[in-house]
């Protein structure tokens, strides 16, 4: 090859005198994911990303690709993978509807601080803005529900962008990152250089807390007579459960957790109060209303926890440990705010705090526990969902990864399955996404292959059918997920509100004539289906389900339509004003 001057041309990409091979953007993409250590990709092919799928077939990457049956299922699977493993979930979809089908999962991950990277195909750069076939401005659509987003316009930027996306997703307060990939970028060629490090202007990740704030927090903790630890999912995200447990046991401070904080502190510990908030334990909410100090760790004071804000924790000063400064004093004023990584801050606090004199305070909490424990009807011979949850806990001795959908069963699982380890409870909290559970269980099971811990998916009949198609994916990959469907032939939580607050007008919540035969549905997807409505058969059914190790088992539990979740805080009420039983 020669230039116009007749001189020999220098290769376009050369290092140390040796030319480096150019490769397509699609191959760069595949190699970048391998370099990042990605283990599983949840995806669905289409025209805009067909070049990537061709490269997957051609180069045989290290990661496993899981073909999901719907893109929303793919995003939830990535969430389940991320929550179960502590890694970053990965999604790959095509443009247009492939991208927009991911919106709910992206929003769910954003609300719950779940690290996922979603790669969306896009029309060629020359057609962007022309309403081309399957074009959607997915950057604009998801701008408010992503931690960050990129659209790659130069093939040379592809590898560095992928590196940055994973870095942003996993660091600081985790969250979803979207990378939009125009089709022509995947065909263009460049040299593959994957960065070892990332430096992003204006993006810093807090670590340790301000020493002056830490000292102030120590004084407040040591002076408190009725302190309370309020623990959120940030403790689990920061892998700080060990530090949190050591802190609570040293100080003798009781612990209550949010829905996402379940498992951060062992619930078989006498200091545990279980979950607080709308469907939390009565005694946890009583502790909130009477404590004189709240030490909030990795929690954001959301409305399901606080209820009526001006009546919440009226006697308490607040110390707030939080990595995201935007969450500080957003809902509840923090008397002492420590911005930093929860694990790092707890490690700062632990050697400085004193053993607290909390015997009187703990005795009062024990009296509240005895006064209003969690309870349900057992004398009428009907199969109660709370009983099923308890038997699942007994079957596994609490050693399981439990995923729940959204609704009554979600609250019963939070109340009656005693969580003793981090990353053992996975659910949709902030967005409250029905249909989350089954695909998330697929993701968790893919991430935990080789683990002895069973993966249990607990759904209501209404939410289960929203993404039931992912049963086929679980069967394809021979995932022995135990799928429990609590079937009351109703949209149970909405029905509960209709009975309590809308004079029994059950408007469009009765599923009796529309529900499928769940056992036949399971069998149609090459799974095992089991069913009972008798509490005396539950243990035998579980034994039968656990004997199946090469495919999912769907266990349908037929439960009463009228069963309600108690205790509960009505909308707009203070958390001290709980309804504890049906009147």
Buried-state track 206-230, b at ≥16 Cβ within 10 A, e below 16? beebbeebbeebbebbeebebbbbb
Task: Tell me whether the omega of the peptide bond preceding residue 435 falls within 30 degrees of 0, making it cis.
Answer: no
Task: Tell me how far apart the alpha carbons of residues 337 and 317 are, in angstroms, rounded to a whole number.
Answer: 11
- Active-site annotation holds for 470: no
- Active-site annotation holds for 183: yes
Among residues 14, 133, 354, 523, the one annotated as catalytic is 133
- Cα-based torsion angle of the residue sequence 383, 481, 107, 100 in order, rounded to the nearest 10 degrees: -120
C-alpha angle 134-138-141 in degrees, rounded to nearest 5: 125
Among residues 36, 55, 71, 470, the one annotated as catalytic is 71
For helices 211-223 and 342-349, give the axis angle rounded to 10 degrees.
Answer: 60
User: How many Å is the maximal CA-CA distance in the chain?
Assistant: 97
Among residues 13, 22, 63, 134, the one annotated as catalytic is 134
Nearest to 73 by CA among 349, 433, 487, 377: 433
Task: Tell me how far apart the alpha carbons of residues 529 and 517 are, in angstroms, rounded to a whole number.
Answer: 10
C-alpha angle 59-61-64 in degrees, rounded to nearest 5: 135
Among residues 220, 448, 466, 493, the one annotated as catalytic is 493
Among residues 183, 213, 226, 482, the one annotated as catalytic is 183
| Radius of gyration in angstroms for the set of CA atoms belonging to the chain, rounded to a whole number | 26
Task: Tell me how far apart the alpha carbons of residues 75 and 579 are, in angstroms, rounded to a whole number.
Answer: 36
- Active-site annotation holds for 493: yes
Residue 490 DSSP symbol: B
**364: how many CB neighbours lie within 10 A of its CB?**
16
Task: Tell me how far apart the alpha carbons of residues 339 and 329 are, in angstroms, rounded to a whole number.
Answer: 12
Nearest to 284 by CA among 247, 255, 244: 255
Q: Which two tokens stand for residue 144?
A: 């408010």
Residues annotated as catalytic (active site), given as ranges: 71, 133-134, 183, 493
């Amino acid at each position: 090859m020669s230039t116009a001057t007749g001189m020999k041309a220098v290769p376009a990409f050369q290092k140390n005198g040796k030319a480096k091979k150019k490769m397509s953007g699609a191959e760069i993409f595949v190699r970048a994911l391998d370099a990042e250590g990605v283990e599983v990709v949840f995806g669905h092919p289409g025209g805009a990303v067909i070049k990537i799928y061709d490269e997957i077939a051609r180069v045989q990457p290290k990661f496993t690709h899981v073909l999901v049956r719907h893109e929303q299922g793919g995003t939830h699977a990535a969430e389940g993978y991320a929550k179960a493993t502590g890694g970053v979930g990965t999604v790959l979809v095509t443009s247009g509807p492939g991208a927009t089908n991911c919106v709910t999962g992206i929003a769910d991950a954003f609300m719950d601080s779940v690290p996922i990277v979603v790669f969306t195909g896009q029309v060629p750069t020359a057609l962007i803005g022309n309403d081309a076939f399957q074009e959607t401005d997915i950057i604009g659509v998801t701008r408010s529900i992503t931690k960050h987003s990129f659209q790659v316009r130069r093939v040379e930027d592809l590898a560095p962008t992928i590196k940055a996306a994973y870095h942003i997703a996993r660091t600081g307060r985790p969250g979803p990152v979207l990378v939009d990939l125009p089709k022509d970028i995947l065909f263009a060629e460049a040299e593959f250089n994957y960065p070892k490090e990332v430096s992003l202007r204006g993006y810093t990740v807090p670590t340790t807390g301000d020493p002056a704030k830490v000292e102030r927090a120590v004084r407040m903790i040591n002076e408190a007579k009725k302190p309370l630890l309020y623990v959120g999912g940030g403790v689990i995200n920061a892998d700080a459960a060990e530090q949190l447990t050591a802190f609570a046991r040293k100080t003798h401070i009781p612990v209550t957790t949010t829905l996402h904080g379940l498992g951060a502190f062992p619930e078989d510990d006498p200091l545990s109060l279980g979950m607080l908030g709308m469907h939390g334990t009565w005694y946890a909410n009583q502790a909130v209303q009477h404590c004189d100090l709240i030490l909030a760790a990795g929690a954001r004071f959301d409305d399901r926890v606080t209820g009526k804000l001006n009546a919440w924790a009226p006697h308490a000063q607040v110390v707030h440990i939080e990595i995201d400064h935007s969450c500080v004093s957003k809902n509840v004023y923090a008397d002492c705010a420590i911005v930093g990584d929860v694990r790092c801050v707890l490690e700062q606090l632990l050697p400085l705090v004193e053993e607290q004199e909390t015997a009187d305070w703990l005795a009062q909490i024990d009296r509240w526990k005895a006064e209003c424990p969690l309870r349900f009807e057992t004398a009428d011979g009907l199969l109660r969902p709370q009983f099923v949850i308890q038997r699942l806990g007994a079957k596994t001795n609490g050693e399981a990864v439990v995923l729940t959908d959204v609704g009554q069963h979600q609250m019963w699982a939070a109340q009656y399955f005693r969580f003793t380890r981090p990353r053992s409870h996975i659910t949709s909290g902030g967005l409250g996404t029905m249909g989350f559970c089954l695909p998330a269980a697929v993701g968790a099971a893919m991430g935990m292959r080789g683990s002895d811990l069973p993966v249990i998916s607990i759904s209501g009949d209404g939410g289960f059918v929203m993404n039931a198609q992912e049963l086929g994916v679980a069967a394809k990959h021979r995932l022995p997920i135990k799928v429990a469907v609590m079937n009351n032939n109703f949209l149970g939580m909405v029905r509960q509100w209709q009975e309590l607050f809308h004079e029994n007008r059950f408007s469009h919540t009765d599923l009796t004539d529309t529900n499928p035969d769940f056992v036949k549905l399971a069998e149609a997807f090459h799974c095992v289906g089991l069913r009972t409505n008798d509490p005396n058969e539950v243990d035998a059914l579980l034994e039968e389900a656990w004997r199946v190790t090469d495919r999912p088992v769907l266990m349908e539990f037929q439960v009463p339509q009228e069963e309600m979740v108690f205790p509960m805080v009505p909308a707009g009420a203070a958390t001290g004003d709980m309804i504890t039983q049906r009147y």
